[in-house]
Amino acid sequence: MTTWITICDTCKRDDWEARAPGVADGEVLADLIEAAAETAEGVRTRRHSCLMGCARGCNVAIQGKDKLNYTVGEFEPTQEAAEAVVGYATLHAQSETGQVPYKQWPQAIKGHFVTRHPPMPDDE
C-alpha atoms less than 13 angstroms from C-alpha of 29 in its C-beta half-sphere:
33
Query: Any idea where the domains of the chain sit in the sequence?
Result: 3-117
* Sequential pLDDT tens for the chain (124 residues): 899 999 999 988 887 777 767 789 999 999 999 999 999 999 999 999 999 988 888 999 999 999 999 999 999 999 999 999 999 999 999 999 999 999 999 999 999 999 999 998 887 7
CATH number of 3-117: 3.40.30
Q: What is the CA radius of gyration of the chain?
A: 14
The structure's pTM equals 0.93
